[in-house]
Chains A and B, each alone.
Chain A
Amino acid sequence: MKKRFLLAALPAMLSLVLATNAYAQIKVGVNVSATGPAASLGIPEKNTFALLPKEIAGKKVEYIVLDDASDTTTAVKNARKLIAEDKVDILIGSTITPNSLAMVDVAAENETPMISMAASSAIISPIDSKRYWVFKTPQNDSHMSTAITGHMNDAGVKTVAFIGFADAYGEGWYKEFSKIAELRKLKVVANERFARSDTSVTGQILKILATNPDAVLIAGAGTPAALPQKTLKERGYKGKIYQTHGVANNDFLRVCGKDCEGTWLPAGPLLVAEQLPNDNPVKKSAMRYVKAYEKEYGAGSVSTFGGHAWDASLLLESAATVALKKAQPGSKEFRAALRTALENTVNLPVSHGIVNMTDTDHLGFDQRSRVMVQIVNGKWKLIGQAN
Chain B
Amino acid sequence: MDFSIAAILAQDGITSGAIYALLALALVLVFSVTRIIFIPQGEFVAFGALSLAAIQTGKFPHSASLLLAFGLLCLGKEIYAQLRSKQPVNAKALALSAGKLLLFPLAVWLLARNVNAQEWPLFAQVLLALVIVVPMGPMIYRLAYQPLAEASTLVLLIVSVGVHFALTGMGLVMFGAEGSRTTAFSDARFELGAMQISGQSLVVIAVSALLIAALYFYFERSLSGKALRATAVNRLGAQLVGIGTTQAGRLAFTLAAAMGALCGVLIAPMTTVYYDGGFLIGLKGFVGAIVGGLVSYPVAAAGALLVGLLESYSSFWASAYKEVIVFTLIIPVLLWRSLSSKHTDEDEE
On whether the beta carbons of A203 and B320 are closer than 8 Å, the reply is no
Contact of A255 among B12, B267, B272, B319 (CB under 8 A): B272
**Among candidates B272, B274, B315, B317, residue contacting A202 with C-beta atoms closer than 8 Å:** B315
A206 with B5, Cβ < 8 A, contacts A193-B320, A227-B271 known: yes
B-side contacts of A255, CB under 8 Å = 178-181, 272
| Interface stretch (choices A54-62, A146-154, A218-226) | A218-226
Q: Contacts A35-B169, A197-B280, A200-B270 given; indicate if A223 touches B323 (C-beta within 8 A).
A: no
B322 at the interface (CB under 8 A from A): yes
Does B216 have its Cβ within 8 Å of any Cβ on chain A?
no
A35-B172, A43-B177, A222-B178 given; A198·B312 CB < 8 A: no
User: Which A residues are in CB contact (< 8 Å) with B5?
Assistant: 206, 210
Distance, CA A166 to CA B318, complexed state (A)? 11
Quote the shortest CB–CB distance from B49 to chain A (angstroms). Answer: 11
Are A206 and B172 in contact, CB atoms less than 8 angstroms apart? no
At the interface, yes or no: B313 with Cβ under 8 Å from chain A? yes
A196: chain B residues at CB < 8 Å are 274
Chain B residues near A39 (CB-CB < 8 A): 172, 177
When A and B form their complex, what is the total count of cross-chain residue pairs whose Cβ atoms lie within 8 Å? 97
Q: In the complex, what residue of chain B is closest to A166 when comparing beta carbons?
A: B320
- Assuming the A-B contacts A197-B280, A223-B272, are A206 and B316 also in contact, with contact meaning beta carbons closer than 8 angstroms in the complex? yes
A to B CB contacts below 8 Å, 9 in the list? A192-B319, A193-B319, A195-B323, A197-B274, A200-B270, A200-B312, A223-B272, A227-B272, A255-B272
- Interface flag for A53 (CB, 8 Å): no
Pairwise interchain contact B281-A202, C-beta atoms closer than 8 A: no
In the docked arrangement, what's the CA distance between A307 and B315, Å?
36
**Residues of A with C-beta under 8 A to B181:** 226, 255, 257
Interface membership of A263, Cβ < 8 A: no
- Residue of A36, A163, A251 near B178 (CB, 8 A) is A251
Tell me which residues from 290 to 349 in chain B have a Cβ below 8 Å from any Cβ of chain A: 312-317, 319-320, 322-323
Question: Contacts A35-B169, A194-B319, A199-B16: A223 and B9 contacting too (C-beta < 8 A)?
Answer: no
Question: Which of chain A's residues have a CB closer than 8 A to the CB of B176?
Answer: 40
Partner of A199, one of B169, B271, B314: B271
Question: A199 and B267: CB pair below 8 A?
Answer: yes
Beyond A35-B172, A39-B172, whether A202 also contacts B8 by CB under 8 A is yes
Across the two chains, which residue of chain B brings its CB closest to A190? Answer: B319
List A contacts of B312 (CB < 8 A). 200, 202-203
In angstroms, Cα B323 to Cα A197, docked, is 10
Asked if A204 is an interface residue, CB under 8 A from chain B, the answer is: yes
Cβ contact within 8 Å between B180 and A202: no
Complex Cα spacing A210 to B9, Å: 14
Q: Are A200 and B271 closer than 8 Å at their CB atoms? A: yes
Interface string of B1-14 (1 = CB under 8 A from A): 00001001100100
A contact residues around B320 at 8 Å (CB): 166, 192-193
- The docked-state distance in angstroms from the alpha carbon of A315 to that of B323 is 41
* Bound Cα distance from A202 to B180, whole angstroms: 19
Question: Is the CB of B277 closer than 8 A to any CB of chain A?
Answer: yes
Asked if B276 lies at the interface with its beta carbon under 8 angstroms from chain A, I say yes
C-alpha gap A240/B181 in the complex (Å) = 24
Are the CB atoms of A202 and B178 closer together than 8 Å? no
Which chain B residues (229-280) contact chain A, with CB distance < 8 Å? Answer: 267, 270-272, 274, 276-277, 280
What is the interface size of chain A, counting residues whose CB is below 8 A from a CB of the partner? Answer: 35
Q: How many residues of B contact A (CB 8 A)?
A: 35
State in angstroms the CA–CA spacing of A255 and B314 once bound together: 26
B172 and A203 form a contact (CB under 8 A): no
Residues of B within 8 A of A198 (CB): 271, 315
Once A43-B177, A197-B274, A222-B178 are accepted as A-B contacts, the answer to whether A203 and B281 lie under 8 Å apart by CB is no
| Nearest 10 A/B pairs, CB to CB | A203-B315, A39-B177, A203-B316, A251-B178, A193-B320, A40-B177, A199-B271, A197-B280, A202-B12, A223-B179
By the criterion CB–CB under 8 Å, are B319 and A223 in contact? Answer: no
A288 in contact (CB, < 8 A)? no
Q: Which residues of B contact A234 (CB under 8 A)?
A: 198
- The residue of chain A having its C-beta at the shortest distance from the C-beta of B281 within the complex is A199
Expressed in whole angstroms, the minimum distance between the Cβ of A127 and any Cβ of chain B is: 31
Q: Which residue of the partner chain, among B180, B276, B322, contacts A37 with CB atoms under 8 Å? A: B276
Q: How far is the CB of A48 from chain B (nearest CB, A)?
A: 15
Q: Is A185 an interface residue, CB under 8 A from the partner?
A: no
Question: Which of B177, B276, B319 touches A204 (beta carbons < 8 Å)?
Answer: B319
- The chain A residue with its CB closest to the CB of B317 is A203
Instruction: Considering the complex, give the chain B residue whose CB is closest to the CB of A222.
Output: B178
B21 to chain A, nearest CB (A): 14
A224 touches B272 (CB 8 A): yes
Q: Is the C-beta of A207 less than 8 angstroms from some C-beta in chain B?
A: yes
- Determine if B8 and A206 form an interchain contact, defined as CB atoms under 8 angstroms apart: yes
Task: State A207–B319 Cα separation when bound (angstroms).
Answer: 10
Interface centre among B8, B315, B316 (most CB of A within 10 A): B315
How far, in Å, is A318 (CB) from chain B's closest CB? 31
Q: Could you tell me the distance in whole angstroms from the C-beta of B8 to the nearest C-beta in chain A?
A: 6
Determine how close the nearest CB of chain B comes to the CB of A232; give it in whole angstroms: 14
Q: Are A207 and B316 in contact (CB under 8 A)?
A: yes
Fill in one digit per residue for B84-115: 1 if any A CB lies within 8 Å of its CB, else 0.
00000000000000000000000000000000
